Chain A
């Protein structure tokens, strides 16, 4: 695949390294010429110096034949403009952007951008992974699928569900527990009669409309006994 990246900062350059290591063709549009030379020294000529929010630089960088356009700068206005140009002017089939200010998430979702990544949200989720504590439901992305995510919860000690069967859990329609990992580390696919124990880990798959409901249901019902 040919991936065109806007911005050769920390995110853009790490992404370029990984994509090249995976055998893909990459171009990075970057304003700062010293960043360009650092990247070119490390990766061969991959950079196109210039403002990636103008038509000429995008054209030089090959926006017209890019399979994916990824905007990674720290300026949301530049990322968003570049994605609009890539999509509307150059017909790039897939556009992605980093969102620096979470407040802009709602707007970005309404625009012609296929995927947006809220970096604050991402960092907080990652911190939460390491802060994995009772009563907290962790959400992990499904690789390559931004409409679904994995929810993982640990059943707390004194959970109201301790010793009760899966059928006692009231989950939103269309959702189910996919896997139950016992405290011995043994994973099994539960049926309605499988008994839930404290310290079990529960794995469920949620899609966008339901995962918040599923998360709330798990937090509430797995909670400690009154």
Chain B
């Protein structure tokens, strides 16, 4: 079961690693719910899919950097973040970013996208919250078929 992100409109900000379709959608959704976002990606072109108005109003701050490296996480302000989400297209990168956030910066229940469900248990046992996009989609579809 996924624990909800502990964020509300008083939150300082969330750090999101990976600005693909999922990362960009999470950033938009968090901002719509009043949570500012700092989003990291190694490719600056990835930020083109973020809503320009949100960047101009500084609700979303794009940061070019590697979310698995301590120095880049510091640049993104990880120490004062209320939530952490790693959602690149690579399970192992997400796990490493979340391990860095939790081990080096004490972020509790760092969320990471781990599509390979066989690996989830291992990362959950390390204190991360591993979420599989495919499993979520399957659950959702099964729900809508059964109900």
Q: Is B92 an interface residue (CB 8 A)?
A: yes
With A and B bound together, what is the CA distance between A80 and B104 in angstroms?
Answer: 15
Residues of A within 8 A of B93 (CB): 77
Contact check: which of B91, B104, B119, B123 meets A107 at CB < 8 Å?
Answer: B104
Nearest A residue to B69, CB-CB:
A103
Mask: chain B, 72-99; 1 = CB below 8 Å from A; 0 = not: 0000000000000000001111011001
Is the beta-carbon distance between B69 and A84 smaller than 8 angstroms? Answer: no
Q: How far is the CB of A7 from chain B (nearest CB, A)?
A: 13
With A and B bound together, what is the CA distance between A54 and B114 in angstroms?
Answer: 11
Interface members, chain A 75-127 (any B CB < 8 Å) = 75-78, 80-81, 84-85, 88-89, 101, 103-104, 106-107, 110-112
Q: Is B8 an interface residue (CB 8 A)?
A: no
Given A77-B90, A77-B92, A81-B96, decide whether A104 and B123 contact each other with a Cβ distance below 8 A.
no
Contact check: which of B68, B90, B116, B126 meets A88 at CB < 8 Å?
Answer: B126
With A and B bound together, what is the CA distance between A112 and B68 in angstroms?
Answer: 17
Given A77-B92, A80-B92, decide whether A107 and B70 contact each other with a Cβ distance below 8 A.
yes
With A and B bound together, what is the CA distance between A112 and B122 in angstroms?
Answer: 12
With A and B bound together, what is the CA distance between A81 and B122 in angstroms?
Answer: 9
Residues of B within 8 A of A89 (CB): 121-122
With A and B bound together, what is the CA distance between A84 and B118 in angstroms?
Answer: 13
With A and B bound together, what is the CA distance between A63 and B95 in angstroms?
Answer: 20
Residues of A within 8 A of B104 (CB): 106-107, 110
Q: Is A219 an interface residue (CB 8 A)?
A: no
Q: How far is the CB of A91 from chain B (nearest CB, A)?
A: 12
Q: Is B49 an interface residue (CB 8 A)?
A: no
Given A77-B92, A84-B126, A111-B103, decide whether A55 and B68 contact each other with a Cβ distance below 8 A.
no
Is the beta-carbon distance between B126 and A103 smaller than 8 angstroms? Answer: no
Q: Which of B69, B122, B125 has the most CB of A within 10 A?
A: B122
Q: Is B133 an interface residue (CB 8 A)?
A: no
Residues of A within 8 A of B96 (CB): 76-77, 80-81, 107
Mask: chain A, 122-143; 1 = CB below 8 Å from B; 0 = not: 0000000000000000000000
Q: Is B100 an interface residue (CB 8 A)?
A: yes
Given A53-B92, A110-B103, decide whether A84 and B122 contact each other with a Cβ distance below 8 A.
yes
With A and B bound together, what is the CA distance between A2 and B96 in angstroms?
Answer: 27
Given A81-B95, A89-B122, A111-B103, decide whether A76 and B116 contact each other with a Cβ distance below 8 A.
no
Q: Is B71 an interface residue (CB 8 A)?
A: yes
Q: Is A56 an interface residue (CB 8 A)?
A: yes
With A and B bound together, what is the CA distance between A78 and B126 in angstroms?
Answer: 16
Q: Which of A88, A89, A107, A111 has the most CB of B within 10 A?
A: A107
With A and B bound together, what is the CA distance between A106 and B104 in angstroms?
Answer: 8
Residues of B within 8 A of A84 (CB): 95, 122-123, 126
Is the beta-carbon distance between B70 and A106 smaller than 8 angstroms? Answer: yes
Contact check: which of B70, B95, B118 meets A54 at CB < 8 Å?
Answer: B118
Residues of B within 8 A of A85 (CB): 119, 122
Nearest 6 Cβ contacts at the A-B interface:
A77-B92, A55-B118, A81-B92, A77-B96, A110-B103, A77-B93
